[in-house]
Amino acid sequence: MVHALPTEQPAGEGEDAGAAVGGLPAGLLRIARPKQWVKNALVLAAPAAAGVLGHSGPLLRSLGAMGIFCLASSGTYFVNDTLDAEADRHHPVKRYRPVAAGVVRPGQAMGAAVVLMGLASGLAFWLAGYRLLVVVAVYLALSTAYSMRLKHELVLDLAGLSSGFILRAVAGGVAAHVPLSDWFLIVVSFGSLLIAAGKRSAEHLHLGESRGLHRPVLAEYPPTFLRFVRLLACAVTITAYCLWAFQRSVSIGHGHHPLWFELSVIPVVLVVLHLELRFDQGRGGAPEELALHDRTLQVLGALWVLLFALGVYA
């Protein structure tokens, strides 16, 4: 069942180099990172957990919010690649990014960023009013602050990296008008911290002694600290999910005691363990690649979706 991922460096180099050949249009598309839009599926988490995706209104607003975050996140990638162009030239894979490779000029990238961010903000207000606009604005502000400064600060780097996932989950609840439970926010927050620490662990391993040239903060992270953060995040994520699942079971049971929520704990624990294994192997540098290509992770994720959906909708 385990599907071994290819090494990240050759795959990344070939893909980026190929994108650079297509000129400016291909370069702009490459910076937008369509592959990473899979992260925006997290917008659907809160509406799905609340059981409202069977209604057309919340479903359409949730899908709209997911599309808005595709625009917003792509806008932040344009800012990030422009600011990181010099550092990316020292990275074995990222040196092929269009701005670093000279395919897209910095001014063109920043112009595209302004257009995408403005469009995302306007659509957020149109779709769900000022509340969703505030979430999108906070996401854009934090992402920009991360690109400019936070990623150079120890610990704040991890917080900034994980905040994007958290705000996506919050946006889904705001767009669908569903309340967010404390346990849900804890699960998302520490699950995001796990992904962030896993990403830094992979970069720390793959870049070796040159890690400080690409990202100075990496040279200051001891591997033992990153492992501690991952283990802490694993423990809190699993504990909070168990409490959330049992709470959901009681609140929805109405005198019965459905086992679907309790059973959903099993794939969650296995997913966390599998992710920790991948991170320890240095394969967390591109979380979207894990989601798209790791068969074991996909099977466990599908099993969790099935069990949780049965608990909510059956």
Where does the pLDDT of residue 11 fall: very low under 50, low under 70, confident under 90, or very high at 90 and above? very low
Where does the pLDDT of residue 12 fall: very low under 50, low under 70, confident under 90, or very high at 90 and above? very low
C-alpha closest to that of 10 among 70, 120, 92, 102: 92
43, 176: one domain:
yes
Q: Helix or strand or coil: residue 137?
A: helix
For 43-88, what is the HEC assignment?
Answer: HHHHHHHHCCCCCHHHHHHHHHHHHHHHHHHHHHHHHHHHHCHHHH
174, 220: one domain:
no
The residue among 110 and 11 whose pLDDT is bigger is 110
193, 259: one domain:
yes
222, 264: one domain:
yes
Share of the chain above pLDDT 90, in %: 31
109, 200: one domain:
no
167, 200: one domain:
no
173, 188: one domain:
no
Confidence check: pLDDT of 4 > 50: no
Last residue within a domain, chosen from 150, 180, 210: 180
Where does the pLDDT of residue 119 fall: very low under 50, low under 70, confident under 90, or very high at 90 and above? very high
Q: How many CA atoms lie within 13 A of 310 on its CB side?
A: 13
210, 106: one domain:
no
200, 300: one domain:
yes
| Torsion sign across C-alpha atoms 151, 155, 158, 164 | negative
Confidence check: pLDDT of 314 > 90: no
Confidence check: pLDDT of 17 > 80: no
Last residue within a domain, chosen from 161, 180, 199: 180
| Residue 84 phi, psi dihedral angles, 5° rounding | -95, 5
Confidence check: pLDDT of 3 > 60: no
Quote the pTM value.
Answer: 0.81
| 191 and 168 Cβ atoms separated by less than 8 Å | no
- CA–CA separation, 284 vs 221, rounded Å? 16
Q: Angle at CA 75, nearest 5°, toward 71 and 79?
A: 170
Last residue within a domain, chosen from 180, 212, 242: 180
31, 159: one domain:
yes
Question: Exposed e or buried b for every residue in 221-250, given b needs 16+ CB within 10 A?
Answer: beeeebeebbeebbebbbebbbebbeebbe
pLDDT digits (tens, 9 = 90+) for 34-88: 888 888 988 988 888 777 887 888 899 999 999 999 999 999 999 988 888 887 7
Region 193-202: what's the mean pLDDT? 88
Residue-number span of the structural domain to which 223 is assigned: 181-314
What CATH number is attached to the domain comprising 96? 1.10.357.140
pLDDT of residue 118: 94
* Among the ranges given (114-123, 135-144, 199-208, 252-261), the one the predictor scored with the smallest mean pLDDT: 252-261
pLDDT of residue 171: 92
- Number of domains within the chain: 2
128, 255: one domain:
no
Neighbours of 56 (CB within 10 A): 8
pLDDT digits (tens, 9 = 90+) for 241-294: 998 888 776 666 555 556 888 888 999 999 999 998 888 887 777 777 777 788
pLDDT of residue 254: 55
Region 144-163: what's the mean pLDDT? 87
pLDDT of residue 54: 77
127, 202: one domain:
no
